[in-house]
Structure 1
Amino acid sequence: MAGIDSTIGGRIEKGRRRKGWHQRDLAERIGRSESWVSQVERGVIALDSVGLAERIAQVLGLAVDYVLAFDVRYAGAAVIAQSSRSHLLSPPSPRATAPDPESSEIVRRRTFTLGSLAGLTGAVAGLSPDAQAQVSRPAGGAVDQATVDELRSIGASYRRSYKSFPASTLVPVAHGQLQLVTSLKPKTQPARLRNSLLAHMVEMASLAAVLLSLDLGDQEQADAYMDLGFRIAKEIGSAELSALILAGRAFGTSYGGDPEGGLDYALAAVEAAKRGASVRMRAWTNAVASEMYSSTGDEYGFRSSMEASRTLLSGSMDDERWGGIAWFDLSKADAYEGSDLARLGRFDEALPSLDQALVRLSPEMLRHRCTAFISRAEAHAGAGHVEQACEDGHAALDLVEQVQHRGTLRRVTDLHRTLRDNKTAGTRSLSEHLIDTRTLLKAIGSAA
């Protein structure tokens, strides 16, 4: 870890010097002491908070994954993930028999193969020295509670990172966590530790699945992770995680060409959430249902579900139980509502909601802003505002290049096809930007 800490510290120091700042200047902007900045820059102490890394990256104008040295920490895995269909990334077949997490050797060899185990190596390197000693011990024996708590905390950071980190960085990270937990033989652990480890597996499987489906366009592998996650969620009786997986299934099914099937999954997620999920999860599953209703043209269903979501968000929260990816709040509800209205053809009504969403969404929520921009571009196009649609299309593509969200790239492509007959300077510029973005993502995808 010392090498990683020194690399991170050096990058922060270099970014600070480029700004012409003293250590006290950076310290004031991030709410830490000058001494703390000095120790981090020298690699004496670790930068172990994703939230703080995001703040440092923002004030220095750097990418978060660069500040955290993910290119070094997960060097082997990052290359693997740049092609989502690489033979090295091999989750279970969607039709395979349910794997037994207790049979770690079988699972590691057949279910979670990352070639050289780069993902597992990176996952262990990300732990504290005490936790590394725990997970690196000879097979057998109980893992201590502190190590399990650290794993869950790391997992929560990775789920929050979905809002801004590129897919090629996060897929191998999630995969490495799955390997690591599998190697700990969860079913041999005491009941409380066992269920916590298995819940961590579900959260990491869902993160990998969402990235593979919505960002990297690999629905088959995404389904495999979803299958694994849903089996484990049911085994441990988690309403929170069952609802998470079912809602994730809704997106893949609907945008895979079966909107009615997507609605079925969304409504199943709503029902699962009612059986004991957190308030925020219940709110989010209703928002997912609103999107699925709008995809089938059911305006009444959309409005009812969106109202239920907003009502839940207005009440008291129990966020220590939140198991979802990234976050869901009123800014996201605005984005869902505006996108749903545009999907229903109510373009003028959609624009104020999307305007409000883009004001409310924080700058680091790159993925959420990306989808909000393309939704507003579609609403502008539907309302006949060609130049505004092109402007928002450019904004969406700028973010696609950062987070590799290929779903948005497809939507911008469709948008351009509806606008290109106008032959304006804006549509020509959008065409050029599309070509540049496709070329960039193709280069990323072929680098493995």
Structure 2
Amino acid sequence: MEIDRIIGRRIEKGRRRKGLLQHELGAAVGRSESWVSQVERGVTALDSLSMAERIAGTLGIAVHHVLAFDVRYQAAPATAPARVSVPAPRATHPLSTMQSSDAEDSETMLRRSFTLGSLAGLTAAIASLSPDARAQVSRPSGGIVDRATVRELRSIGASYRRSYKSFPASSLVPVAHDQVQLVISLRPKDQPAHLRNSLLAHMAEMAALASALLSLDLGDPGQADAYMDLGYQIAKEIDSQELAALILAGRAFRTSYSGDPAGGLDYALAAVDTAERGASMRMRAWTNAVASEMHAYAGDHHGFRSCLEQARVLLSGSMDDDRWGGIAWFDLSKADAYEGGNLVRLGRYVEALPSLDKALGQLSPEMLRHRCTAYISRAEAHAGAQNIEAACDDGHAALALVAQVQHRETLRRVIALHRGLRAHKTVGTRSLGEHLIDTRTLLKTTGSTV
């Protein structure tokens, strides 16, 4: 690619000005002479933002210049200086105060998920800020970010987390990733403690959002695990029970849906215990609801009832939603959906229908993902109660929402539903089969099909 050749020429020019040979630059950044040669010739692209920072630091030039932001994007910072001193690689990592193994795991995740194409999103993330905030984050590294900019980033992050209710997964994952990269570019470790913790909390929330989307919607468990690991490391680093509970509950879903219901329950109960040590009331309620689902998966009716009742009790009390760090929303209508879904998992189909009817009557229209899972749960309940046409109707409704939000787990459940109904050979079952084929074809380009 032409951009790789431009980057290579800039690195070569900077290296020559510095008086370094290719093997000397390679040794300084932990790569071979051959690799440096290939990068300078544009044969090999830079593979991470941290590597670009290492090269820029070694050569004493700006990262923006090395990555040719002025060529790539018109929105690139125009005031970036020609030269900037970048700290050593270990110190540039925002989680460098963690244990070495943790920091290395985070670097592995970021290297795996990073592409030069994501820098376009990073520029877009900066461009979406207010002018004052853009001036803050576009400065050379080493400066202090003001409180207003950090507050703006947290507000933007909250809006992205709320968007989980209705936005397509393939649109939100890059946004969440770009926010993680944006926080890295602000070097949280160089900020005062209160700003550093707030920036890292934003980073962890975006990692949690990405992990949920990748796990439940896009079917990429490897990337989902990497983001979960990153989020949990940050939660421990900043001692946030809110974020730790969020990540542990996400692990519960991931583990249970992978065929380990006992492990999923262990994670869910750990999330409940963690939330009780200082998370928001809504987070405490939600983790209890998650535990209720994991009890149902394990066949424990009493455990499911006990946890869900605790969730409802917590929701009926005074809320402190300024502290809510969860994804989307959780309220009594969603608790009704959990109840119905749990009863379906326990095989109590007729008993599940009133709860799911109530949930679908109360869930707000913009909660597309929540309505999606409620529809497939009600479809399964109708199928278990031998209401075949009603099951097909709800299967159609679930698929219509799957096409909008790309919720892979619901798609998997509709596929299983249809396989169980095919033997009836009705007009409804044939129509549902055709709708399934259309939906899988539609989602094929997103990697969401199963």
Q: 1:278 Cα deviation (Å)?
A: 0.4
Is 2:325 the partner of 1:323?
yes
Q: Which residue of 2 aligns with 1:279?
A: 281
1:98 paired with 2:99, answer no
1:111, distance to aligned residue in structure 2 (A): 5.8
**Deviation (angstroms), 1:141:** 1.4
Instruction: State the secondary structure of the residue aligned to 1:99.
Output: helix
- Asked if 1 retains the 8 angstrom alpha-carbon contact of 2:113 and 2:223, the reply is no
Aligned equivalents of 2:214, 2:310: Cα separation in 1: 29
Tell me whether 1:113 sits opposite 2:114 in the alignment: yes
Structure 1 partner of 2:441: 439
Equivalent residue letter for 1:432: E
For 1:294 and 1:122, locate their aligned partners in 2 and report how far apart those are by CA, in whole Å.
43
CA distance in 2 between partners of 1:100 and 1:197 (Å): 20
Corresponding letter in the other structure for 2:102: A
Match of 2:411 among 409, 412, 430: 409
Deviation at 1:225, TM superposition (A): 0.3
**Cα separation, 1, equivalents of 2:276 and 2:445:** 44
Counterpart for residue 388 of structure 1: 390
**1:409 CA drift (Å):** 0.5
Relative distance call for 1:111 and 1:152 in structure 2 (3 A) is farther
CA distance in 1, matches of 2:313, 2:238: 29
Residue 240 of structure 2 corresponds to which residue in structure 1? 238
Give the CA deviation at 1:109.
Answer: 7.1
Q: 1:221 to 1:109 in 2, by over 3 A?
A: closer
Q: Tell me, in whole angstroms, the C-alpha distance in 1 between the residues paired with 2:124 and 2:140.
A: 19
Distance across 2 between alignment mates of 1:99 and 1:119: 24
Deviation at 1:100, TM superposition (A): 7.3
Shift of 1:113: 1.2
1:153 is aligned to 2:159: no
Determine the structure 2 residue equivalent to 1:264.
266
Which of these residues, 348, 353, 361, is aligned with residue 351 of structure 1?
A: 353
| 2:227 match | 225
> Would the aligned equivalents of 2:109 and 2:227 in 1 still touch at CA under 8 Å?
no
Query: 2:294 is matched with which residue?
Result: 292
Conserved? CA contact 1:240–1:277, under 8 Å = yes
The Cα offsets for residues 360-380 of structure 1, whole Å up to 9 and x where unpaired, read as: 001111100000000000000
Any runs of at least 4 consecutive aligned residues in structure 1 with deviations exceeding 2 A, and if so which?
A: 106-112, 443-446
Deviation at 1:443, TM superposition (A): 3.0
What is the RMSD of the two structures over their aligned residues, measured on CA atoms?
Answer: 1.9
TM superposition score normalised by structure 2: 0.76
Shift of residue 99 of structure 1?
A: 2.2
Question: 2:341 maps to what in 1?
Answer: 339
2:231 maps to a residue whose letter is G
Distance 1:99 1:410, change over 3 A: same
Q: Which has the larger radius of gyration?
A: 2
**Measured at CA, do residues 229 and 259 of structure 1 come closer, stay the same or move farther in structure 2, by a change above 3 Å?**
same
Q: What stretches of structure 1 of length at least 5 have no aligned partner?
A: 1-72, 74-95
1:185 is matched with which residue: 157, 182, 187? 187
Partner of 2:140: 138
Alignment of 1:25-64 (within 5 A): none
Residue identity in the other structure for 2:176: A
**Amino acid corresponding to residue 180 of structure 1 in structure 2:** L
In the alignment, the residues of structure 1 paired with residue 445 and residue 112 of structure 2 have an alpha-carbon distance, to the nearest angstrom, of 28
Gaps of 5+ in 2: 1-72, 74-99
Query: Following the alignment from structure 2 to structure 1, what is the Cα–Cα distance between the partners of residues 358 and 312?
Result: 15
Distance in structure 1 (CA, Å) of the matches to 2:319 and 2:104: 35
Task: State the alpha-carbon separation in 2 of the partners of residues 111 and 231 from structure 1.
Answer: 17
Give 1:362's aligned residue: 364
Once the two structures are TM-superposed, the CA of residue 248 in structure 1 deviates from its matched residue by 0.4
Q: Distance in 2 between matches of 1:259 and 1:125?
A: 44
The CA distance in 2 between the partners of 1:134 and 1:108, in whole Å, is 27
1:193 Cα deviation from its structure 2 partner: 0.2
Correspondence 1:198-209 to 2 at 5 A: 198-209=200-211
Amino acid at match of 1:315: G
Distance 1:235 1:444, change over 3 A: closer
Matched residues, number: 350
1:121 positional shift: 1.4
Deviations 1:1-51 (A, max 9, x none): xxxxxxxxxxxxxxxxxxxxxxxxxxxxxxxxxxxxxxxxxxxxxxxxxxx
Q: What are the Cα deviations for residues 181-239 of structure 1, in whole angstroms up to 9, with x where unaligned? A: 00101011001000000000110000000000000011111010000000110110001
Q: What do the CA deviations read for 1:339-394 (whole angstroms, capped 9, x no partner)?
A: 00011011111000000000100111110000000000000000110000000000
Q: Quote how far apart the aligned CAs of 1:126 are.
A: 1.1
2: CA distance, partners of 1:355 / 1:109:
43
Q: Is the 8 A contact 2:109 2:226 kept in 1?
A: no
Letter in 2 for 1:98: D
- Counterpart of 1:421? 423
Q: Give the counterpart letter for 1:177 in structure 2.
A: Q
Q: What fraction of aligned residue pairs are identical, expressed as a percent?
A: 75
Q: Secondary structure at the match of 1:276?
A: coil
CA distance in 2: counterparts of 1:405 and 1:195, whole angstroms: 32
Which residue identity lines up with residue 347 of structure 1 in the other structure?
Y
Secondary structure of 1:98 counterpart: helix
Contact 1:108 1:182 in 2 (8 A): no
The 8 Å contact of residues 112 and 179 in structure 1, kept in 2 or not, is answered as no
Report the secondary structure of 1:362's partner residue. coil
- Aligned AA for 1:149? R
Q: Which structure has the higher relative contact order (CA within 8 Å, separation 6+)? A: 1
- Separation in 1, partners of 2:193, 2:396: 51
Q: Deviation at 1:110?
A: 2.6
- Verify the 8 A CA contact 1:289 1:305 in the aligned structure 2: yes
Mapped contact 1:108–1:179 kept (Cα < 8 A): no
Shift of 1:98: 1.6
